């Protein structure tokens, strides 16, 4: 039996199979997915390349990202604006 994936929406845990799989196109045969439309995600990582990759990947799904290079920057960013999700690299070197 394979692993099953879930996502969190409207304070409910839902199985990934519930996500509609019909992508819309913008006329340029480029697939657009608005799964994360109107979602602000705080991405915290001490590697700038990882921040760029996360930003571009999440943007493909319609998300807006706020980036931070350390836990301290992440806390400050979180205090300045509301976010719906935080993605964080756990083993970061301390930059205090």
pLDDT at 18 (0 to 100):
53
Q: What are phi and psi of 65, to 5 degrees?
A: -115, 150
Q: How many CB atoms lie within 10 A of CB 87?
A: 15
Tokens of residue 5, six digits: 């994936």
pLDDT digit string (tens) for the chain, length 96 residues? 455 666 667 766 777 765 555 555 555 435 567 888 889 999 999 999 999 999 999 998 899 999 999 999 999 999 999 999 999 988 776 655
Q: What are phi and psi of 88, to 5 degrees?
A: -135, 135
Residues 6+ apart with CB under 8 A from 36: 58, 61, 62, 63
d(CA 56, CA 78): 20
Q: What is the pTM of this model?
A: 0.63
């Amino acid at each position: 039996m394979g692993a099953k994936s879930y996502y969190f929406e409207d304070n409910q845990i839902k199985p990934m199979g519930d996500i509609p799989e019909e992508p819309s196109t913008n006329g340029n045969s480029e697939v657009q997915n608005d799964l994360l439309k109107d979602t602000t995600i705080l991405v915290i990582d001490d590697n700038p390349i990882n921040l760029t990759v996360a930003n571009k990947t999440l943007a493909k799904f319609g998300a807006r990202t706020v980036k931070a290079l350390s836990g301290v920057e992440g806390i400050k960013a979180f205090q300045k604006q509301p976010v719906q999700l935080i993605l964080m690299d756990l083993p970061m070197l301390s930059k205090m």
